[in-house]
Structure 1
């Protein structure tokens, strides 16, 4: 056993974190598809969809890079969501979505500043929860 392992400073295995992120990502995508497909189009469902998209972005980052600290994972997810939202200003996601509707689920359609607020707030909450959960698990 290494000295790091004996004093508990070694980074935990990334496998459980990756598996957890993968399962949660699948559940988040399912919830997002449910919101998109089964609920009426309203401001509340739009906000819920945006929040689920942001959580999915965060979980995708954790799935790809499970050893990243939550703040770094959040920064990458926030950059992705912001880039996608700003890309909508080009009109390309709307045009591409008209040709292939699933594109709209990933790239959206039209720019809405409220989406940016929802993305950033949700990602901050996800990262904070991740920090808290990691702290609890680290204490065990």
Structure 2
């Protein structure tokens, strides 16, 4: 079926034992770009606006960043497992805020304030769930697009016609892209 940006093979909950080395590096590079974009967007939202929606949006983007980091660390695992792990990390960090330790550490090291937060909020948990869900959906959609492109490329290079696999009816040479006709009936 093809692989998504995190190196997962297609299908719900599909797992592969390994990722091809060349593809893994490319996928991790795309994930690094996505992670950087989520950090820049999250910091920009909080810097340029004080509106009520900026807090939950920043928390959601934080969950996206955690999803990306988990996908970089374990690219061969299923997208569902990556999303669950990312949400677990976010919830654990939020629960750690109940101890007051992140607030104390944030006074000594201001950068830790951005990473660990300072105060617990139930609404933050909802934002983390939404962010992890959005990251999961985007990851699944990217897998679908990558699989479709790979299938089309293989088909145009003379491999098996996808109509046979997808719909169960045979194809002929005239059904190839650019021939001007549809599938054989």
1:81-92 aligned within 5 A: 81-92=90-101
Q: C-alpha root-mean-square deviation of aligned residues, in Å?
A: 1.8
The CA deviation string for residues 90-121 of structure 1, in whole angstroms up to 9 with x for no partner, is: 01111111222111110001000000011012
Kindly indicate whether the alpha-carbon contact (under 8 Å) linking 2:60 and 2:129 is maintained by their aligned counterparts in 1: no
* Greater per-residue helix proportion: 1
Instruction: Flag the structure with larger Rg.
Output: 2
1:48 aligns with 2:60: no
Equivalent residue, structure 2, for 1:124: 133
Equivalent residue, structure 1, for 2:24: 14
Looking at structure 1, the residues matched to 48 and 123 of structure 2 have their Cα atoms a distance apart, in angstroms, of 20
Q: By how many angstroms is 1:16 displaced?
A: 2.2
Question: Unaligned stretches of 5+ in structure 2?
Answer: 1-9, 11-15, 151-185
Looking at structure 2, the residues matched to 40 and 120 of structure 1 have their Cα atoms a distance apart, in angstroms, of 23
Equivalent residue, structure 2, for 1:24: 34
The CA deviation string for residues 33-52 of structure 1, in whole angstroms up to 9 with x for no partner, is: 2223x224342111111011
Match of 2:117 among 108, 112, 116: 108
Looking at structure 2, the residues matched to 67 and 23 of structure 1 have their Cα atoms a distance apart, in angstroms, of 19
Question: Unaligned stretches of 5+ in structure 1?
Answer: 1-8
